[in-house]
Amino acid sequence: MPGEFYVEKKAEKVNLEAVESSLADLNAKADGIKARTDNLAGEIPGQGSTSADWQTAEADVISIGFAGVRYKIHDLTLSIHNLAGTQVRIRLYKQVNGTERKVYDQAFDAAADPLGLSVINGSWAIHDTLRVTLQSNNAADNGQAVDYDYMLEVM
């Protein structure tokens, strides 16, 4: 009987080690899942304004993102409430196979269209910078502030 007691204890010890190892693996997997789901909360909203000579030439409003970092952009809204142009053009540029390309170009009328323009309303993946520009046909728009607001999620 003393030998049987020793065998039972030894088997119990082996089982505890296997359980501890399995728990450690599960904890590591749970940490990985948590890190990925924490991304769903998104980044702090990007907000601000830019002033430029919009009528003189197309000018940058903002560049969103960083080279080599993958994001989902869920919203990009521009406010043209300070502008008077009848043709306010918004353009978006992003890298396509290593070369910046225009991927969006639309004209708006500051007097007739909504003052808050939802340029991106949905999810769009980017893996480099997204450059947002604006150009107006009215010299009175030079020096005026264009507000922006966007939401990102790291992928």
3-state percent breakdown (helix, strand, coil) of the chain, nearest 5: 30, 45, 30
Q: Does the pLDDT of residue 109 top 90, yes or no? A: yes
What are the domain boundaries of the chain?
Answer: 2-39, 44-154
Cα–Cα dist 154/125, whole Å: 10
Tokens standing for residue 121: 């309303």
Question: Tens of pLDDT along 24-76?
Answer: 888 888 877 777 676 666 678 899 999 999 998 999 999 999 998 999 999 99
Cα–Cα dist 109/137, whole Å: 10
- Superfamily for domain range 44-154: Nucleoplasmin core domain (2.60.120.340)
- For residue 8, the model assigns a pLDDT of 55
Q: Whole-model pTM?
A: 0.76
CB 126 within 8 Å of CB 64: yes
